[in-house]
């Protein structure tokens, strides 16, 4: 499986796939003009069975030939579609003009930061164009169950036990959310797969790529009330003491601080749009202020 390590325009053209009416943006969503324009592919329908990658020749995985796009959007605040690739890989495609909350670029930035940190929490996410619709595609986690589903099926005590088993990753996820100012990490927006691994999905509401409003920084002093409330929530979710959570949060923050002083950080920044780069700089300065000692 090829790994995609940079934000690149992948223009996927469906041939013999959904009809021209497979998608139209709902009212109240952002328009394509509000987002970065990428690629130059045009939608076609010449009767061939699968799509073709026009810009970057990827043979497998996300960005490769597409055989199916589910005609019914996945549930959620933003429009999304389950896409099946020729090799069986599946992904969630979110068109930019179907975004009501946040920005599709935030999905990609969250993956790029997490991948560079080496945490492995955010599924592979790329920028892609499907039948002329620019957006993001995130790898579908096969066999994954959300915290909401697990709590309903197994009960809150069982979910708490599961999260305690991945407590450091759970805390890293919350610290990543703080860093990219993601206010939308409820228990429907993370998954545990069959092996028990934690996945941070649905990062599009992060303010990191918001260019219309002043950036809302979520990095707080460890003595701030907001920090203490978050510590209490994590303690409740994992069954750890607040003291344990505070130590682990500080450790995760300091991992991010150390990363911001490396060339890997600069490589990620270099791939961002100007507004995302500016917002990341705000978070970086705040994080170093409180946890850079």
CA dihedral 124, 128, 130, 131 (to 10 degrees): -170
Instruction: Assess contact for 136 and 10: CB atoms under 8 A.
Output: no
Would residue 1 count as lying in a domain?
no
Pairing of β 145-146 and β 198-200: unpaired
Would residue 2 count as lying in a domain?
no
Structure tokens given for 272: 């961002």
Query: Which tens digit of pLDDT belongs to each residue from 207-240?
Result: 888 877 778 888 999 999 999 999 999 999 999 9
Residues 195, 218 within the same domain: yes
Q: What is the mean pLDDT of residues 135-160?
A: 94
Query: pLDDT-derived band of residue 70, with 50, 70 and 90 as boundaries?
Result: low
Residues 119, 175 within the same domain: no
Share of the chain above pLDDT 90, in %: 54
Residues 80, 153 within the same domain: no
**Domain termination residue (choose one: 139, 168, 190):** 139
Higher pLDDT, 191 or 75: 191
Highest mean predicted confidence (pLDDT) among 25-34, 82-91, 206-215: 82-91
Residue 17 has pLDDT above 90, yes or no: no
pLDDT, the chain, mean: 79
> 């920044």: which residue's tokens?
269
Would residue 4 count as lying in a domain?
no
**Domain termination residue (choose one: 117, 139, 161):** 139
Residues 59, 82 within the same domain: yes
Domain harbouring 185, CATH code? 1.10.1070
Would residue 53 count as lying in a domain?
yes
Phi and psi, residue 190, nearest 5°: -145, 155
Q: Which of 3-7, 15-19, 259-263 has the lowest mean pLDDT?
A: 3-7
pLDDT at 22: 43
pLDDT at 65: 60
Residues 177, 134 within the same domain: no
pLDDT at 115: 97
Residues 125, 17 within the same domain: yes
Higher pLDDT, 157 or 32: 157
Residues 117, 244 within the same domain: no
Would residue 126 count as lying in a domain?
yes
Q: What is the mean pLDDT of residues 95-108?
A: 81
Q: Which of 14-23, 112-121, 147-156, 172-181 has the lowest mean pLDDT?
A: 14-23
Label residue 28 left, alpha or beta by phi (over 0 means left) and psi (-120 to 50 means alpha): left
Residues 124, 190 within the same domain: no
**Domain termination residue (choose one: 139, 168, 185):** 139
Would residue 3 count as lying in a domain?
no
Would residue 189 count as lying in a domain?
yes
Nearest CA to 14 out of 62, 60, 47 is that of 47
Residue 78 has pLDDT above 80, yes or no: no
Would residue 36 count as lying in a domain?
yes
Residues 61, 194 within the same domain: no
Residues 227, 248 within the same domain: yes
Model pTM score = 0.80
Q: Which of 31-35, 59-63, 132-136, 245-249 has the lowest mean pLDDT?
A: 31-35
Query: pLDDT-derived band of residue 35, with 50, 70 and 90 as boundaries?
Result: very low
**Residue range(s) defining the domain that contains residue 26:** 10-139
Residues 106, 70 within the same domain: yes
Q: Which of 88-92, 225-229, 265-269 has the lowest mean pLDDT?
A: 88-92
Q: Which of 18-22, 94-98, 196-200, 288-292 has the lowest mean pLDDT?
A: 18-22
Phi and psi, residue 237, nearest 5°: -70, -35
Structure tokens given for 242: 């607040």
Query: Which tens digit of pLDDT belongs to each residue from 54-67?
Result: 333 344 566 566 66
Pairing of β 125-130 and β 10-13: parallel
Query: What's the domain count of the chain?
Result: 2
CB atoms within 10 A of CB 103: 28
Residues 114, 174 within the same domain: no
């Amino acid at each position: 499986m090829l790994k995609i390590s940079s934000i690149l325009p992948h223009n996927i053209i469906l041939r013999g796939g959904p009809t021209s009416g497979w998608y139209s943006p709902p009212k109240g969503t952002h328009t394509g003009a509000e987002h970065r324009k990428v690629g130059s592919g045009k939608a076609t329908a010449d009767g061939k069975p699968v799509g073709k990658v026009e810009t970057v020749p990827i043979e497998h995985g996300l960005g490769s030939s597409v055989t199916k796009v589910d005609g019914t959007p996945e549930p959620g605040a933003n429009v999304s579609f389950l896409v099946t690739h020729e090799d069986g890989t599946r992904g969630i495609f979110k068109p930019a003009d179907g975004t009501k909350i946040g920005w599709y670029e935030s999905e990609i930035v969250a993956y790029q930061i997490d991948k560079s940190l080496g945490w492995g929490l955010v599924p592979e996410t790329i920028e892609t164009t499907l039948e002329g619709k620019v957006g993001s595609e995130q790898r579908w986690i096969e066999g994954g169950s959300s915290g909401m589903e697990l709590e309903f099926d197994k009960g809150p005590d069982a979910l708490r036990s599961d999260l305690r088993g991945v407590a450091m990753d759970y805390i890293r996820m919350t610290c990543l959310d703080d860093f990219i100012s993601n206010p939308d990490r409820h228990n429907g927006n993370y998954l545990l797969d069959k092996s028990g691994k934690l996945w941070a999905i649905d990062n599009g509401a992060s303010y990191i790529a918001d260019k219309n409003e002043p950036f809302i920084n979520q990095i707080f002093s460890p003595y701030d009330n907001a920090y203490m409330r978050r510590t209490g929530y994590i303690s409740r979710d994992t069954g750890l003491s607040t003291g344990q959570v505070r130590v682990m949060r500080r450790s995760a923050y300091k991992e991010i601080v150390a990363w911001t002083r490396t060339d890997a950080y600069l490589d990620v920044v270099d791939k961002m749009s100007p507004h995302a780069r500016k917002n990341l700089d705000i978070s970086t300065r705040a994080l170093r202020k409180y946890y850079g000692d």
